[in-house]
Each structure stands twice: as C-alpha cells, then as structure tokens.
Structure 1
Amino acid sequence: MSYLNNIRTFVRVYELGNMSAAARDMRISAAVASSRISQLEDHLKVRLFQRTTRLLNPTEQGKIFYEGAVKILEAVEEAEADISNVTQIPQGTLYVAAPLGLGQRFIAPAVPKFRAAYPLINIRLRLSDRKLDLAAEGLDAAFFLGVPEDSNLKIRKIADCPRLLCASPDYIAKRGTPKSSAELKTDAHDCLNLRFPGAPEFQWTLDGPEGPQRIAVTGPFESDHGEVLTQWALDGHGIVMKPSFEVSEHLNAGRLVPVLENEPPLPIQLACLYMHRRHQDPKVRLFLDFMVDHILAELPTT
C-alpha cells in the first residue's frame, strides 16, 4: 500500500499545487507528504516537481505521470466501489454545493427524501452563487448553471434551461418597455448583473433576428448573489436575466413581466461537476442519480 499511498499523495499535491495543503487534506504531516513524493521520485528516477521556497510546479515528467496516476487511482477505487456495492450499504458524508436559486428550488427539498432512502449517508449542503474549487474545498459534487472553466472535472449534464429577461411592472411604467436589445447598450435601461470579483466585463447573449449576439450591458447595480438581483428586479431597479424556473412564481403572480421576448437569452446548461475519482464512490453515484431524477421531474418543461 505504501506505493499506492505515494501515488495518492502525488495526485493531491499536483491538484492542490501545495505540499502543506495536500498534507492537510490527507490528514498527514507535510514532512510525510514530502517524503512520499521523494520516494516516488526515487522509484521513477525522475523529478516530478520543481520546488522553490514559494512555488511548487510539476515538471514535464510530473504532468505525464499525473495522467497515468489518475487512471490508476480510478481503477483501484472503481474496484473497491464494486466490492462495496456487494458487501455493504453505502454510508458516510457527502459534501455538495449548488447555486442559491437552484439549491433552494430543487436540491434542498430533496435532501431529506434522499436521507430517508439512505439513512447512513449524511449530506453537507452549501448554497452559494460564487465560483467554487471542488478540490480545494473538499466537495464531492457541485451543481451549476453555465459552462465550467475547469476541464479537469467530470460533467454530468442534466438539462438546458430556458432563460428570459424580466422586470417589474413599476420599472416598465417608469422606463418603458425596451423594443430591441440595442436599447440595453444605452442609458435607456438599467441591467442587473450577476458578477464575481475579478470577472471580465459582463455580456448577455441574446438570440436576435440575425442569430445569437453578445450584448455588453451595464447598470448601477451588480452582485455575486442571484437572489439579490431578483429582489432588485422586484423592487423596480432594473432588468434581470434569469432561468425561468427561478422567477416563474413572480411571473405567474405578475410581480415580474417578461421583456424582449422576441430576443430571448440562450438557454443555460444545468449540470453537475465532480472529481474524476469521486463518481466511483457508491454514495456519490446514488446521490447524483437521485438528484438528477428529482430535478428532471420538477423542472418546468417550458
């Protein structure tokens, strides 16, 4: 097992980019982690990392070995999971994240139902609209809307969700109804943007008469919290772009009204991210299968 532990340590150091962080994640000392990497390098007769006092970067050999090491661990964990499926009931704790609107509408209500079906599995659910680092934050799975930036993660697509632009009747009464997306580029209307620190200038992609067009929009308010944007829209402060399931109740009640229906936003992908190896864990597979079925059953078809 010592060689396998050395490989596991190498993979965590590679993924986290830090010896101490990997050691904490694996609940070992930094000295043990460093020793395991050295043993692995001695065995392979190559240097896997370039080390300085502040930086730890993989060498070309390290990058090559990482790809093979991940496959080795996946194969071992898949074999262990197969045995687990036969010999024991899945148990343990799952750490799951989701955006606020999606999590409140679909994930949180289904967690007690999942726990009732699998009473030995505990769920730790985090709801946040900020971008998450699954490896650094120890997450087993993260639901999301959009296109992820990290290509090292596995994606399980669930659905394409329609979106719309909407505003409150009070806002429309004061500012008028936009006749085309061109008006969103001017001071004629205020757009409410979901934006994170360090994010580039925000653009909305709308499906106009000439096909999808990216529109640079501005407004007096921005937030990294989707529910804040919804509340600002309800309070008459601007036009918001939202998945239809997040604002359907407000639309049905007349608190929000759709705008620019002839130039709607493109649908947004609803999916789940997980680390390559996490899906071999029976409880992760059970949770994802359960939640995907639940979301598809609850997701509005229009």
Structure 2
Amino acid sequence: MAYLDNIRTFVRVYELGNMSAAARDLRVSAAVASSRISQLEDHLGVRLFHRTTRTLTPTEQGQMFYSGAGKILEAVEEAEADISDITDSPRGTLYVAAPLGVGQRFIAPAVPAFKEQYPQISIRLRLSDRKLDLAAEGLDAAFFLGVPEDSNLRIRKITDCPRVLCAAPDYLDRRGAPQNSDELRTDTHDCLNLRYPGAPEFQWPLQGPNGVQRVPVTGPFETDHGEVLTQWALAGHGIVMKPVFEIAEHLAAGRLEVVLPEEPPVPIQLACLYLHRRRQDPKARLFMDFMVEHIQAEMARLPL
C-alpha cells in the first residue's frame, strides 16, 4: 500500500504541478507528499521532477512514468470495484464536485443520508461555480448545469431546471419592470451575470413568441460565484437569471419578483458527468443513483 500511495501522490503532483496542492488534495502534509516522491524516485533510480524554489516540472522519465502510473491506478481501482461488487460492500473515497447552488440545495444535505446507507464510502465534496477538469482534478463525478464542452466525458442527465429572470422590488420601483427583452439589450437595465475564466459573452436564451432568441446583456457587476449574484439581486442592484430551485424561497417571500414572465429563459439541464472508463466504479454509480433519485424528488416539490 505504501508503494501505491507513492504512485498516487506522484500522479496528483504531476497533474496539479504543485506539491502543496497535491498534498491538500490527498489530505496529507506537504512534507509527507515530498517524502513519498523521494521514496518513489529512490525505488525507480531516476528523478521524476525538476525542483526549484518556485517551480516543479516533470523530467523526461517522469513524463514516461506518468502514463504507466495512471494505468496502474486504474487497474487497481477496477480490481477493487470487482471485489466491491462481489462482497456487496462498496468502500473507499469519492471525490465529487458541484456548482454552489446545486451543491448547497441538493447534494450537501443528502450526503449524510448516503453515508448512513453506505458507511464505508467517504465523500469529498467540492463546491465551485468555475469550470472543472475531472481528470486533472481527480474527480469521480461532477454535477453540472448546462451542456458540457468536453465530449470525452460521459453524461447522465438528471432533469431540466426551469429558470426565471427576477429582481428585487426595490430595483423595479426605481427602474421599472422591463416590458420586453429588447429593453435588456440597451442600458435601460442592469443585468447581473455569472462569469468565469474562458466564459463566452453574456447572452440570455429567452423564449419569445418567435421562438428562442439569445439576448446579449450587460451590467456593472459580474462574478464567478452564483450566491453573490443572488445577494446582489436581493440588494436591488439588477436583474438576474437564476434556476428556480436557487431562489424559490426568495420568490415565495416576495424578496424577488419574476420579470418578463411571457419571455422566460430556456430551462437548463442538470446532469452528472464522469470519465469514460472500461468499467464504472460501483461506489460512484451508487452515489449517482442515490443523488438522481433525491434531486428528482426535491425538484418535484418546488413551487414551479
């Protein structure tokens, strides 16, 4: 097991390009991670990384070893999965990611119930609205809103989530409610937008009498944090496009009001992404089955 730990550490250091980041990901100290790399290098008789005070880059031997190391770990995972299937006692750690709204509303509250049902599976949940690389970040599954750009991933659709345009009563009292989507194309209204590195220009897909149109919008504020958008909207800073499940309680309490109900946004797909593998890890499959059923039940309860 020590040798496998050394290989796992090497793979994460290689993928993340940083010893400290790999150590945090593996839940060990940087000193332990560094020691594992040194032990592996001693065993192989080669240097796997060029190290300076500021950079860490793989050597030619490190690049060669990485390909084989990944195959070793995948083979071990598949063998463990076979045993889990036979013994009907899945175990191990799952690394899962989700957007903030999805994670807070659906995933995080259900993790304890999943853990109670499968006590030998541990969950490491990461919540972020930024784009994620499943392979590079060592994720077993990632919940996702929208259409993934990476065709190399497998996708399991969960549901289509209705969305609305909404704003605080204070904003609508000051600026008036937009009467049509054309008002969003000008400076008549402030639109609050979710932006992350590499995101395309802002266009809201709205359903009108002539079908779906992509309306370009602008505004004074943007962020890569979905909850910040909600707080800005609540504070009266503009109009926001949100899945209903994220702001249902604010709509019910009157803190936010739907605008342009006759031109609603196109629903957004909620899905779970995972890597192509010859054989799917049974604990990942169990987790997805559990969460799909939970999310669909919760969505059915929302006042849409």
Range class of TM-score, shorter chain: 0.7 to 0.9
SS in 1 for 2:135: helix
The alignment-based identity, stated in percent, is 70
Deviations 1:151-182 (CA, angstroms, capped at 9, x unpaired): 11111100001001000000000000101000
Compute the displacement of 1:280 (Å): 1.7
Match of 1:93 in 2: 93
- Counterparts in 2 of 1:35-114, with a 5 A limit? 81-87=81-87, 89-114=89-114
TM-score normalized with structure 2 length:
0.76
Structure 2, unaligned stretches of length 5 or more? 27-35, 48-58, 64-69
Retained in 2: the 8 A contact 1:278–1:284? no
Further displaced range: 216-225 or 80-89: 80-89
TM-score normalized with structure 1 length:
0.76
Match of 1:62 in 2: none
Q: 1 CA distance for matches of 2:102 and 2:278?
A: 22
Q: 1 CA distance for matches of 2:279 and 2:127?
A: 21
SS in 1 for 2:136: helix
* Letter aligned with residue 125 of structure 2: L
Q: 1 CA distance for matches of 2:127 and 2:76?
A: 32
Match of 2:66 in 1: none
Match of 1:288 in 2: 288
What number of residue pairs does the alignment pair up? 264
Match of 1:126 in 2: 126
Residue 268 to residue 33, structure 1, CA distance change in 2 (3 Å): farther
Q: 2 CA distance for matches of 1:272 and 1:182?
A: 35
Q: 2 CA distance for matches of 1:140 and 1:182?
A: 43
What is the aligned-residue RMSD (CA, Å)?
3.4
Residue 34 to residue 296, structure 1, CA distance change in 2 (3 Å): farther
4+ residue segments displaced more than 4 Å: 15-18, 27-35, 73-80
Residue 265 to residue 118, structure 1, CA distance change in 2 (3 Å): same
Retained in 2: the 8 A contact 1:94–1:121? yes
Compute the displacement of 1:227 (Å): 0.3
Whether 1:193 and 2:175 are equivalent positions in the alignment is no
Retained in 1: the 8 A contact 2:16–2:137? no
Structure 1, unaligned stretches of length 5 or more? 36-51, 57-68
Q: 1 CA distance for matches of 2:168 and 2:160?
A: 25
Compute the displacement of 1:200 (Å): 2.5
SS in 2 for 1:137: coil
Retained in 2: the 8 A contact 1:74–1:276? no
SS in 2 for 1:274: strand
Match of 2:157 in 1: 157
Whether 1:135 and 2:135 are equivalent positions in the alignment is yes
Compute the displacement of 1:299 (Å): 1.0
- Counterparts in 2 of 1:194-273, with a 5 A limit? 194-273=194-273
Match of 2:67 in 1: none
Residue 17 to residue 118, structure 1, CA distance change in 2 (3 Å): closer
Compute the displacement of 1:277 (Å): 2.4
* Letter aligned with residue 260 of structure 2: L
SS in 1 for 2:232: helix
